[in-house]
Chains A and B, each alone.
Chain A
Amino acid sequence: DTGVSQDPRHKITKRGQNVTFRCDPISEHNRLYWYRQTLGQGPEFLTYFQNEAQLEKSRLLSDRFSAERPKGSFSTLEIQRTEQGDSAMYLCASSLESQGAQIRYFGPGTRLTVT
């Protein structure tokens, strides 16, 4: 059983550039989540999908952010016109829908540095 994978693991970009991250969830999991984590903080929710439907977005997700999960499998998170404040670790997690709170299984994250 492979876990959640994310690509790339590290990304350095210049302010104003667009970046895209990919997340591959655990294969049988139908829910996929994106979180952002800054230094010294816990992960903050950005958005989540159930299958291919994006069901919830945080107010943290500005118009420059977009996420997709076109076939209900992998997901991409794109940030347009990056700003230095976007520098953070972007974490993906997946879970299997069931009664009660699903356990989120996290990937290794993509660390974004905007210069």
Chain B
Amino acid sequence: AQKVTQAQTEISVVEKEDVTLDCVYETRDTTYYLFWYKQPPSGELVFLIRRNSFDEQNEISGRYSWNFQKSTSSFNFTITASQVVDSAVYFCALSEVNTGNQFYFGTGTSLTVIP
């Protein structure tokens, strides 16, 4: 079973629009971590954020914000006022403490920001 589901395969938005990337995860652990990574066309995965399962506070970093809701097992990522440089594939990942902190990646959402 897929532990991390990113149902949106591809999204296109016009520059300056807001966009939300969905991530739904599945785990039986009470202690786990959630991550978002960005993979631009160059190929290198860039770390964006890590949250632990005990911290449901939403986080904002510039134009990026994250909404963690344990009740719905979701960890969604919103980009406000999107820019062309935001075009990339975004991956959500889950790490479970009881399985040796193994990373489980979703299949990614490809975001295209049209100028």
Contact = CB atoms under 8 A, between A and B. Distances in A.
B107 A41 contact: yes
Contacts of B47: 103-106
Interface size class of B (residues with CB under 8 A): 20 to 34
B103 interface: yes
Interface residues of A, number: 21
B22 to A, nearest CB: 15
Given A42-B107, A101-B50, A56 B43 contact: no
Contacts, number: 56
User: A interface, by DSSP: helix, strand, loop or mixed?
Assistant: loop
A102 to B, nearest CB: 7
Interface in B77-115: 91, 93, 95, 97, 100-103, 105-108
Given A91-B45, A108-B42, A101 B101 contact: yes
Given A42-B106, A45-B102, A56-B100, A100 B44 contact: no
Given A100-B101, A106-B45, 11 more contacts: A40-B107, A41-B107, A42-B4, A42-B91, A42-B107, A43-B105, A89-B43, A91-B45, A102-B101, A108-B44, A109-B44
13 contacts: A40-B108, A42-B4, A42-B93, A42-B107, A43-B105, A56-B100, A101-B33, A101-B95, A101-B101, A103-B47, A103-B50, A106-B37, A106-B45
